[in-house]
Amino acid sequence: MSIRTSQIVEALEPSATLAMSGKAKELKAAGNTVYDLSVGEPDFVTPSHICEAAVDAIHSGKTFYTVASGIPDLKKAVVADYKTLYGLDYAFTQVGIANGAKHALHNAFFATLNPGDEVIIPAPYWVSYAELVKLTGAVPVIIETKESNQFKLTPDMLQEAVTPKTRMFLICSPSNPTGSMYSPEELGALADVVLKHDFFVVADEIYDRLVYGDVPFASFPTLREGLQDRVILINGVSKTYAMTGWRIGWSIAPPNVAKKIAELQSQETSNPCSISQYAALAALQGDQSCVEKMRVEFEKRRRYVKQRLDSIPGLTCTNMDGAFYAFFNIKQHLGRKYHGVQVKTSEQWCMELLIQKNVATVMGSAFGAEGYARASFAAGMDILEAAYDRIEEFIKS
């Protein structure tokens, strides 16, 4: 007999970003030059002082189990960072160090959600949000936003989605996949709705240091009095410090929730990698000029990508105020043939772009927005120039 898999796992959708990246790797292995814009991963090497701290940790014997929820020094550094950047006061015991921000989200969801609870998620949304919510037995309530409003949820839309079962509102600003960022005033208006009701917020702020233009980033708990007790913050070192593979993220939660997150993690994974924790500590406490250097380069790439997309007939794209993604409208180019292949959906469009032009992007349907495609600009200018030449060729084919 074969082993039967669970209904929960059967209902899961695989990660579209990893699927497209996997297909790109297959083509590379076959000898093709592939321009991979599918994965949200900085192309910079982790700064040397961070790597050196990891080596020092190894040689000094910091290779044993740590406290399950993370070393106190790293928790204190996270607290100090939020105090310095945003004026927020937390106890270090409110921080839970996790195996990446995705794991921190998992912990936050499993520590707070029950089957049947509703979680409001604006679309487009990061591919893993809805699937992680479903794993708890809770129900993702997807609210479609509009490109004409930079894919931002309005207070009226949030209010209309609230029901007696609403338990959580999940927001990511700056956004993956759209790059849109809410202004402090826009977030404040959403916070007013939150404070009127009996639900809380999970704020994914993983891109808080990758912001462009004149609009300042605002951390959600800073918007109104009383929000710190209603918000779980999610962040990490992956995007800011080019440390995706080190797998260190964290949550900052009210004390009672932080305690349960620590207990959950103690049973599921124990501590995150000890070496990575000391590397993350060096990232937070060390010279921050590396962050600005990478941000400036991302901004340069952003300007180039926006100019290229605006120049290709039938494509539209929002402003990309943060993160490192372009989320562009391809609706005018669906329902046609590309070298004899009929393309009707964003998934088909992205796959044919990869097969015919060796450019890897991610279909908008994976983010809850059919008719769009996401392309990362966390790639060198040479790759971006070649990729957008090929996208333009594909469109004109």
Closest CA to 122 of 175, 78, 85: 175
Closest CA to 294 of 209, 193, 373, 224: 209
Provide the whole-model pTM.
0.96
pLDDT at residue 33, as a whole number: 92
Q: Which residue numbers in the chain have pLDDT < 70?
A: none
The domains of the chain, with CATH numbers, are 7-45+290-396 (3.90.1150.10), 48-285 (3.40.640.10)
pLDDT at residue 39, as a whole number: 84
pLDDT tens-digit map of 259-314: 999 999 999 999 999 999 999 999 999 999 999 999 999 999 999 999 999 999 99
Asked whether the beta carbons of 131 and 367 are under 8 A apart, the reply is no
Closest CA to 352 of 329, 336, 367: 336
Residue type, 355: I
The four Cα atoms 31, 37, 40, 46 give a dihedral, to 10 degrees, of: 60
pLDDT at residue 9, as a whole number: 83
pLDDT at residue 8, as a whole number: 84
DSSP 211: B
pLDDT at residue 285, as a whole number: 98
Distances (CA, A) of 19 to 9, 65, 148, 351: 17, 33, 30, 11
Across-strand partners of 118?
A: 139, 166
pLDDT at residue 135, as a whole number: 96
Instruction: State residue 198 phi and psi, 5-degree precision.
Output: -100, 60
pLDDT at residue 104, as a whole number: 98
Asked whether the beta carbons of 367 and 342 are under 8 A apart, the reply is no
pLDDT at residue 22, as a whole number: 78
